[in-house]
Every structure is written in structure tokens, then in C-alpha cells.
Structure 1
Amino acid sequence: MAENNAPAEAPPKKGKLKLIIILTLLVVMAVGLSVVGTLWFIGADIPGLSSEEVPAEEAEEAFVPSGYTVLEKALVTTVEAEGRQRYAQVYVALEATDQDALAAASLHMPLVRSQLLGVLAGSDFMELQTPEGRKQLADQMLVAANTVLEQEGEPPLQRVLFRNFVVQ
């Protein structure tokens, strides 16, 4: 028998072109996703990816700082406690964002101070010893002060703050 000395046929070489195209597409997609991810992370507006549409009316309001009027003299009065007279001494500051309200409170300070003293004198001694009672007293004082300012045609205050609070 005759021997077959002919070289064996090599399998056909597959083109590397397909591999190069796939790798190129993967690199382009990775770069694109990287850019989009970076823009999203820094908060840039990307058309079509914005899930929240903010209307113009709901734009963030400008911050207005509060101003304060401090009552230099303490409010000192007696309060009723189980048949005994107790003393209450409160240093107060008035807060408002409207400077006109603070100017009006300063102008009408004798009347405002008188109303605040009346509210403090009408308080219960046991309630003044609790945080909730002091919060309620501040709310009542705010209502009294705003009532005075409203009667005078002035803008209202925002809060009554206690700088020092002593009951004994």
C-alpha cells in the first residue's frame, strides 16, 4: 500500500475581524456608560434620564434669617402652688423674620410685657416644672403678644424664646 505523504489539510483560519469588532463595541459601550454614570453622579441634567421634573413654582424659597428682640428685664411674678405662693422669673426673647414685627414689639413693649406677665402669673406651678408645661407657656405667651400686635395693626411674631427660666 502506498503511504500518504501528503501534508494534512489545516483547518481554515477563522477571521480575527469578528473578534476585533466585538471588542471595539464593548470598549465604546464601557466608555459611554462611564460618561453617563459620571454625569449622573455629579447631578448634571441628561435629557431623557431625568426622573424628576421640578416645576418653576416649587423653586426653593430664599432663606430669610430671624431677628430677635430681647426683653432686658426679667418677668417676675408669683404663681399659685397648692395654696402657697411661689416665684417665677423668666427672661424672654421674641423672634420674627419680619423686622417690622420686631420694631412693633419694641414700640409696644409695655403692653406686650404686661400681657406676658399676666400669662405667666396665670400659670400652674407644677406645669412650669415640666418641659411640656414650659412649651405650652411659650405658646400662650406668643398668642398674647401677637394679640397685642394684631390690635395695633402690626405683623405677628414667630416664637417666644426663654433665655432663662427659674421657678422656686
Structure 2
Amino acid sequence: MAKNQAAPLPPGVAAEPKSKLKLIILMVVALLLAVGLSVAGTWFVLSKSGGNEARPAEPAEGATSLRRAAVYEDLSPAFVINYRQGNRQRYLQVSIALMARDEERLKALRVHMPVLRNELVMLLSGQDFDSLLTPVGKEMLRQQATAKVQELALKETGHQVVEQVLFTNLVLQ
């Protein structure tokens, strides 16, 4: 027998160890390509915005279509409403803020704050306590409060003034 002849390999053993090395190299290249494409895509999207978000746009003279920055007015103190539910006494405490876009119109509405607070107390005290326990009930109350405040503002100042009524704290007990 010849000395240069290799012994036959058992079945299931790879004939070339280089094929495993090629597979590993191919997987590493694919991983690097995926990471590179992800970084390039992120960079492209972020550079496309050009950083305009950090600087508020200056309204052009005579332009009224641009949206003004929000102005907030906290209604202090918080509203506390009591409810009778069966034989139990229940309470609602809610802190409210008004969101507007025009400081001067909001200032004109501040004169009517006692009437506004009265309307909100009446609205809050007329609610069903059980409905306020659900997120939908709370949102419906917030929308009713917004409509009530906008109606009052329109009546008293001639402008809607308030864009939203926000509940900044709401506790049910």
C-alpha cells in the first residue's frame, strides 16, 4: 500500500474544514452589512430633518395660519366634589389647566374666572361617579368641560379662547 493515500472519512464528517470558515466569514460580512445599512438609514432620516425642530418658526408678518405656542392657565385651587353612592360618601378631586394659544384672550377670560369655576363645579357635580371610574368616562368629562369652557369664553369674550381643558390630576375616592 502507498503511504500517501488518506484513510476514508466516516459518513457525516466534512471533507473540507475550509467550508465552515467560509460560512462564518459570510455570516460576519452579512451582519456587518446589516449594521451598516441600519446606521446609514438612521443617519439619512435624521439628517433629512435638518434640525428644524429645535428652532421655532417665526411667524411671517400678516400670516395667521401658523400655530402659536400653547399658553397654560392652572385653575387653583383644585376642584373637590362629593358624591353620594349608595350609603357611602365618595369624592372627586381634580386639578384643571386651560390650554390656549393667545395670551391676551386668555387674560380677558381670567376676569370671568368665578363664573368659569362655577360652571365647572356644576358640570363635575352632575356626573355619575361610576362612569368616572373608567378611562372613557374621564375622557368624556374632559371633553364636556372643554365644551363648557369654550361656550362660556365665547359668550363672555367673543372668542373661543381655550383649545383644551386638561386634567392635570384626578383622584377618585
Measured against the shorter chain, the TM-score band is: 0.5 to 0.7
Is the CA contact 2:109–2:157 (under 8 Å) kept in the aligned structure 1?
Answer: no
Could you tell me whether the CA contact under 8 Å between 2:109 and 2:156 is conserved in 1? no
Is 1:108 aligned with 2:118? no
Over residues 2-44 of structure 1, what are the superposed CA-to-partner deviations in whole Å (9 max), with x where a residue is unaligned? xxxxxxxxxxxxxxxxxxxxxxxxxxxxxxxxxxxxxxxx8xx
Aligned length: 111
Q: Establish whether residue 126 from structure 1 lines up as the match of residue 130 from structure 2.
A: yes
C-alpha distance in structure 1 between counterparts of 2:117 and 2:88, whole Å: 25
TM-score, normalised relative to structure 1: 0.59
Taking only aligned residues, the RMSD between alpha carbons, in angstroms, comes to: 2.2
Secondary structure at 1:164 match in 2: strand
- Contact 1:78/1:88, CA 8 A, preserved across alignment: yes
Question: What does 1:18-57 align with in structure 2 at a 5 Å threshold?
Answer: none
Corresponding residue number in structure 1 for 2:171: 166
List aligned pairs for 1:144-155, cutoff 5 A. 144-155=148-159
Secondary structure at the aligned position of 2:144 is classed as helix
- For 2:108 and 2:127, the matched residues in 1 are separated by 26
What does residue 27 of structure 1 align with? none
Contact 1:95 1:161 in 2 (8 A): yes
The alpha carbon displacement at 1:100 in A equals 3.1
String of CA shifts for 1:80-116, please: whole Å, max 9, x gaps.
4345431111100000112233213311111000100
| Contact kept? 1:142, 1:160, Cα under 8 Å | yes
Structure 2, unaligned runs of 5 or more: 1-47, 49-64
**Identity score, percent:** 35
- 2:140 aligns with 136
- Tell me: CA distance 1:154–1:104, structure 2 relative to 1, closer, same or farther (3 Å): farther
Match of 2:94 among 58, 77, 90: 90
**TM-score normalised by the chain length of structure 2:** 0.58
1:148 is displaced (CA, Å) by 1.6
Q: Partners of 1:121 and 1:100 in 2: how far apart?
A: 31
Letter in 2 for 1:141: A
- Rounded to whole Å, the distance in 2 between the matches of 1:105 and 1:75 is 19
